[in-house]
Structure 1
Amino acid sequence: MTTPVSSPQTAIPQTAVPQTAMVLAAGLGLRMRPLTLDRPKPLIPILGKPLLDHALDRLAASGVTTAVVNNHYLGGMIVDHLADRRAPTIVASPEKRILETGGGIKHALPLLGDAPILTVNADILWLDGPTPALQRLAAFWDPQTMDALLLMMATTKSAGYEGPGDYHMDPLGRLIRRGESELSPFVFAGVQIVKPELFAQDTPDGAFSTNLIWDRAQEAGRLYGIAHDGLWFHIGTPDGLTECEELLAIGGVRAVAH
């Protein structure tokens, strides 16, 4: 299957970045222990700034006005940390029990509105290429043909990621999930534009993964991706955190990009 490292950017007219985002910050951070014994993973700092703030700063810079931030594990710390933030406006979505990615978004639907939203994992870090990634997503987004548009990262250019990948991508950007015994060239980079109503349509009331939504969109031919043209760091363990900070601190990120 053809797997380009970039997606076409001229077919879809420039559009505004969604005004509302869902920031997923409720995870337990078990693989990051002992660093997460006394704080939630999104509050772990990278070069002095918590991961959560890196994500929120990028949202604010791209024009997002409201960020719904869920919380569960040590959730009060996240609420306190965000109490003084003004851009974007923060709306808390506490979860009494862990609801996973899909369940967390479904739980927050009354706060998200009806228009397409951005979702961002609070425990990843990306650096933009020539055009900010959120603007590239908005430019490629076409609600007439897409239900979800995922930011993808080439596994060969990912820092700290050693998995088998998530998807193949055709020349038009359509995504096909890798088979059970396959390797695929792209991993989900933790950022997407998605239609929130998909999470209310025949979905579980408790915890479930966004994979359910993506699999349905793929079956309908409405799951698309765009390859990130900047840098992306998978920070799943303390060792991954150390690697990320070393690369950023010494300027070695160029080696990851090529």
Structure 2
Amino acid sequence: MRDTPRSLMLFAAGFGTRMGALTQDRPKPLVEVAGKPLVDHALALVHEAGIAKVVANVHYRADQMEAYLAPRGVEISDERAEILETGGGLRKALPQLGTGPVFTLNTDAVWTGDNVITTLQAAWDGERMDALVALVSPEQALGHPGAGDFAMAPDGSLTRGTGYIYTGAQILVTDGLAEIAEDHFSLNRLWDQMIARGRLYGVVHRGGWCDVGRPNSISLAEGMLEGAAR
């Protein structure tokens, strides 16, 4: 059965330590790129794709994040007591997200080109896949060093390796989260289980992508956006 996801998790709880002074008084999703907070770039993709149910986890400067997101219709998954990483954070938010596969989207990247959420929607096949992750080649990846996270087979299935970089956007079946005993864990744990079953797939984003993880990436992202607008 092709079960189309209807809800989305925004990861917004991190400390943003690599941003230095920019995150001393604000959480990283509220750092501005091209005149608006990073999280607004993510929300623009979400709204354009027509995703109605959006949940964001909060921890670092959680009051600021909640005050900004709640009026925009985003539900809050509160991790003020302790930050749970991506896997633990997603599992905590499942009662709000509902059953079935979900989208997840990081809040520290800027995109051009096709809407990555609609790209994932179009390529999703729940009969074959437990997760579908959006990827770019190292040549496409601004602000992100390294040779990649995954190798892709001709059918789109993934193994650990080089060649493609994970962009922070995916569709994910969440059933396997219940099998992990730890409270704090990365979604890499779930991906490795899916790779072992041949159920992790990738789709290549058609457009630009910039990882805004460091201060010098802001100008890279703004240059990318300006170029795409010409």
- Letter of the structure 1 residue corresponding to residue 101 of structure 2: P
Q: Distance in 1 between matches of 2:98 and 2:184?
A: 21
- Give the deviation of 1:17 after TM superposition: 6.0
1:167 to 150, 154, 163: 150
Q: Distance in 1 between matches of 2:181 and 2:65?
A: 26
- Letter of the structure 2 residue corresponding to residue 79 of structure 1: E
- 2:205 aligns with 228
* Match status 1:101 vs 2:79: no
Q: Distance in 2 between matches of 1:133 and 1:119?
A: 11
The C-alpha deviation readout for 1:66-113, integer Å capped at 9, x for no partner, is 11100000011010012321xxx3110010211111111011111111
- 2:108 aligns with 123
Percent identical across equivalent pairs? 40
- After the TM superposition, which residues 114-153 of structure 1 pair with which residues of structure 2 at under 5 Å, given as runs? 114-129=99-114, 132-153=115-136
* Match status 1:189 vs 2:167: yes
**Size of the alignment, in residue pairs?**
228
- After the TM superposition, which residues 1-258 of structure 1 pair with which residues of structure 2 at under 5 Å, given as runs? 18-85=5-72, 89-95=73-79, 96-129=81-114, 132-178=115-161, 184-200=162-178, 202-249=179-226, 251=227
Q: Distance in 2 between matches of 1:161 and 1:175?
A: 20
**TM-score, normalised with respect to structure 1:** 0.84
SS of aligned partner of 1:164:
coil
Contact 2:113/2:206 (<8 A) preserved: yes
- Give the deviation of 1:253 after TM superposition: 8.6
- 1:11 aligns with none
Distance 1:17 1:43, change over 3 A: farther
SS of aligned partner of 2:22:
coil
**TM-score, normalised with respect to structure 2:** 0.94
Q: Could you list the runs of 5+ residues in structure 1 that have no partner in the other structure? A: 1-14, 179-183
- Letter of the structure 2 residue corresponding to residue 135 of structure 1: T
Q: Distance in 2 between matches of 1:199 and 1:16?
A: 18
Runs of 4 or more above 4 Å deviation: none
SS of aligned partner of 2:144:
coil
Q: Distance in 1 between matches of 2:116 and 2:41?
A: 14
- Give the deviation of 1:252 after TM superposition: 7.2
Q: Distance in 2 between matches of 1:17 and 1:82?
A: 25
Contact 1:151/1:228 (<8 A) preserved: yes
- Letter of the structure 2 residue corresponding to residue 109 of structure 1: L
Q: Distance in 1 between matches of 2:12 and 2:173?
A: 20
